[in-house]
Amino acid sequence: MNELTEKAWPIIKLLLIPYICLMFLLIYPIEYYVDAPGGLTEVESLIDVNYNEDKVTQGTISTTYIVALNRPSFFQFMVGYFSPYTTIDALTGSYADYTNEEISQISYWDKYTSVDASIIVAFQAASNDNSEIIIDYVEKVFVFGKATYLSNYDLISFGDEFISLVGDTGTITSIDDIASNTLLEDAYDFTFNKVDGEEYTVTLTKDSETLKFGITFRTAYIVNRETTFPEYNVANSNIGGPSGGLLQTLAIYNMLVPEDITQGLKIAGTGTIQYDGSVGYIGGVKQKIATAYLNKVDVFFIPNLDDNYTYDNYQEALKACEELNIDPTGWLVPVATFQDALDYLQGLGD
């Protein structure tokens, strides 16, 4: 270091301090999540059913997505903190233990199973008046939760399909039989399928305190596309989660029936879809209401009371409208089932 550099170095360090602090604020992640308004996605851009191709649809049916930041930078946190449209809270439960990549994997599989549920419900409803429409599906069990104490944690991915377990009485294939067939030993061999179809076997050991393996399964129905008619295509999407289920179901149904249920309207909404057609609770209500209002939708469907009468998205939506000074009259529509939404749209036509 020459003499000039030695003299200048203290000044350089002073100049670097604000820069370093700024970089820290821009990139340092904190254990919170930020939900912000997003946009609308027309279902036809995601799912295309090869049927009624000459049919003209006057209106649109769209899902509503929000921008969700997990572990935002301090700068992002502060921007969200001062916005009236955002919701900020600490990451809790298992999500606090998952990496952002793992949270994205969960969101992807939620979306994947949601699309199949929408297809099943829509095809079944349309087949009531059209015997040409056939829906076939199989039951599968996927990995949807991993505890931190799960042995061989990194070998098992979210969305891996459970195949079998070598238990106390032999090989079992039902998750309902796992507890009663894993009483004698501390470790057992589980077999799974990766997304690409690769089968693998891994030994899982019970946790010494909980006496559990630390893995959570979810049962879902997956469409058998070879024996389902008509054919359909699903495009790749970077929007995850199951909350588009109801609107996906409405749009798919509209592709299968001869009439146009949109009535020429801009229809959006949110809500998961169950296999019996019931509509389930979702998060991000405030951000979705703001998104719908800014996009000037004509009809926005929102879940009403859930099966346990615990959550009521409609009341949350009314509160959000009041906070944001939005008039919900005429466009905010509470529904509990797919049939409720369908009846409402058909009623507009009548």
pLDDT of the chain along its 350 residues, tens only?
555 455 555 665 555 566 666 666 667 788 889 999 999 999 999 999 999 888 999 999 999 999 998 988 888 888 888 888 899 999 888 788 899 999 999 999 999 999 999 999 999 999 999 999 999 999 999 999 999 999 999 999 999 999 999 999 999 999 999 999 999 999 999 999 998 889 999 999 999 999 999 999 999 999 999 999 999 999 988 888 999 999 999 999 999 999 999 999 999 999 999 999 999 999 999 999 999 999 999 999 999 865 555 568 999 999 999 999 999 999 999 999 999 999 999 998 66
The pair phi, psi for residue 219, each rounded to 5°, is: -90, 135
- Assess whether 125 and 241 both reside in one domain: yes
Tracing tokens 């079992």 back to the chain, one arrives at: 172
Q: Output the six-digit token pair for 223.
A: 């469409």
Query: Token pair 């067939």 is at which residue?
Result: 181
In a domain, 83, yes or no: yes
Q: Which of 220, 248, 277 is the last residue of a domain?
A: 220
CA 114/CA 108 separation, integer angstroms: 10
Within-domain flag for 203: yes
Residue pair 150/156 in contact by the 8 Å Cβ criterion: yes
Q: Please report whether residue 10 resides in a domain.
A: no
Which residue spans within 28-160 are E strands per DSSP?
32-42, 47-49, 60-70, 87-90, 137-146
**H or E segment and range at residue 17:** helix 3-27
| Alpha-carbon gap, residue 311 to 289, rounded angstroms | 17
Distance separating alpha carbons of residues 185 and 165, to the nearest angstrom? 13
Same-domain check for residues 42 and 191 = no
Count of CB atoms within 10 A of residue 223's CB?
20
Q: In the prediction, which pLDDT does 96 show?
A: 87
Tell me if 17 is assigned to some domain. Answer: no
Q: Are residues 178 and 233 in the same domain?
A: no
Q: Say yes or no: 121 and 149 in one domain.
A: no
CB 84 within 8 A of CB 324: yes
Answer yes or no: do 258 and 321 share one domain: yes
**Verdict on whether the full-model pTM lies above 0.85:** yes
* Same domain as 50, residue 91: yes
**The predicted structure's pLDDT at residue 95:** 84
Residues 132 and 175 grouped into a single domain: no
Burial of residue 82 (number of CB atoms within 10 Å: 0-12, 13-18, 19+): exposed
Omega of the bond prior to 230 within 30 degrees of 0, cis? yes
pLDDT at 293: 94
User: Does residue 97 lie in a domain region?
Assistant: yes
In terms of domains, do 90 and 234 share one?
yes
Q: What is the CATH number of the domain that holds 184?
A: 2.30.42
Q: How many Å apart are CA 127 and CA 231, to the nearest integer? A: 14
* The domain boundary residue, chosen from 220, 247, 269: 220
Domain membership of residue 311 (yes or no) is: yes
> Which residues contact residue 211 at a Cβ distance below 8 angstroms, ignoring those fewer than 6 apart?
none
User: Are residue 164 and residue 272 in the same domain, yes or no?
Assistant: no
Distance (Å, whole) CA 118 – CA 250: 8
**Distances, alpha carbon 326 to alpha carbons 4, 294, 319, 330, 331, in Å:** 63, 10, 10, 12, 11
Q: Are 228 and 112 within one domain?
A: yes
The two beta strands, 187-193 and 161-167, are: antiparallel
In whole angstroms, what is the distance from residue 35 CA to residue 69 CA? 6
pLDDT at 80: 85
Is 180 within a domain? Answer: yes
- Among the listed residues 67, 73, 76, 70, the one whose alpha carbon sits nearest the alpha carbon of residue 96: 70
Among 165, 197, 220, where does a domain finish? 220
Domain count, the chain: 2
Structural domain boundaries enclosing 110: 27-136+224-349
Report if residue 92 sits inside a domain. yes
Q: Give pLDDT, residue 94.
A: 79
Q: Give the phi and the psi of residue 82 in degrees, each rounded to 5.
A: -95, 5
What does the alpha-carbon distance between residue 280 and residue 265 come to, in Å, rounded to a whole number? 24
Residues 326 and 282 in one domain: yes
Token pair of 173 as six digits: 């294939």
Do 266 and 331 reside in the same domain of the chain? yes
Token output for 41: 């996605």
